């Protein structure tokens, strides 16, 4: 409504490792995509206060990986099946819903039979673990973790990287944050479309909400189930009506995330 550009900060889209995988998909280096796999495992669990009220592991953590499946596949997903459990921090088991999970996994179905799998865990004893893999009809491409250096150690009882991967997301994605900021500035200076739109952010949220619903109800959930239950009383005031049989006056189900948004500045040109 203000006539300003909106760009969502999904920084993994600007990471050179994931960008290279995306390029391989676009250029058909591995043929047609069959399967996408992503893992996200933090070095240590967050404080109880962070988890409580954070919306659960699908919304405060897996949302980035779910978005990355869509970014790599290049299509909107159809449905999702999710599960969660607690293995690391037993104190959070008293919380509601997926806030009680520190480990979760998702399977997503995309058009043309493409499958995507995501696993997340709030603790990884060997450092920040962020990897992607794409299997295609002609090959496979995968990323490794990012290390502070390329030094490798060779001993009688050990062969491998001399140090563990980066142990904090600000270090792991430092370059991505810079690239992301430059991209936004270029969009402002050149009056060009932003590379990560409000619709991208909204779809990522819908994906995480559907994952949460799937784990809670132990079933496949179609993403349009979430979209169908969003009620917007104004362009800037929306609420989710999941679990309610009473819909507000004027409620109109929609089938596409874009229909919930005010048209962005670039699309009006």
| Each residue's pLDDT tens digit, 111-159 | 999 999 999 999 998 888 999 999 999 999 999 999 999 999 999 999 9
Residue 2, CA atoms < 13 Å, CB-side half-sphere: 4
Q: Please give the mean pLDDT across all residues of the chain.
A: 90
Residue 150, CA atoms < 13 Å, CB-side half-sphere: 0
pLDDT band of 266, cuts 50, 70, 90: confident
Task: Tell me what pLDDT residue 243 has.
Answer: 60
Quote the CA–CA distance of 56 and 62 in Å, as a whole number: 9
Quote the CA–CA distance of 82 and 218 in Å, as a whole number: 7
Mean pLDDT for the stretch of residues 2-9 = 88
Give the residue ranges of DSSP H helices in the chain. Answer: 16-26, 48-51, 57, 63-73, 169-172, 174-190, 198-217, 223-227
| pTM score of the predicted model | 0.88
């Amino acid at each position: 409504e203000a006539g300003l550009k909106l760009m969502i900060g999904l920084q993994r889209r600007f990471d050179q490792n994931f960008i290279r995988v995306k390029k391989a998909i676009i250029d058909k280096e591995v043929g047609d995509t069959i399967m996408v796999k992503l893992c996200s495992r933090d070095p240590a669990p967050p404080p109880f206060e962070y988890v409580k009220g954070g919306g659960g592991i699908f919304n405060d953590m897996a949302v980035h990986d779910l978005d990355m499946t869509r970014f790599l596949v290049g299509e909107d997903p159809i449905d999702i099946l999710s599960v969660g459990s607690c293995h690391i921090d037993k104190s959070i088991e008293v919380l509601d819903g997926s806030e009680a999970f520190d480990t979760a996994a998702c399977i997503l179905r995309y058009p043309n039979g493409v499958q995507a799998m995501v696993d997340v865990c709030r603790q990884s004893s060997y450092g920040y673990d962020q990897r992607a893999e794409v299997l295609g009809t002609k090959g496979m491409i995968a990323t490794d973790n990012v290390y502070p250096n390329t030094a490798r150690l060779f001993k009688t009882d050990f062969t491998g990287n001399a140090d563990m991967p980066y142990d904090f997301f600000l270090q792991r994605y430092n370059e991505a944050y810079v690239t992301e900021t430059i991209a936004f500035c270029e969009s402002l200076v050149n009056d060009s479309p932003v590379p990560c739109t409000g619709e991208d952010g909204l779809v990522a949220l819908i994906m995480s909400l559907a994952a949460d619903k799937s784990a809670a109800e132990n079933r496949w959930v179609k993403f349009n189930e979430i979209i169908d239950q969003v009620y917007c009383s104004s362009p800037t005031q929306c609420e989710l009506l999941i679990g309610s049989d009473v819909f507000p006056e004027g409620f109109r189900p929609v089938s596409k995330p874009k229909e919930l948004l005010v048209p962005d500045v670039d699309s009006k040109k």
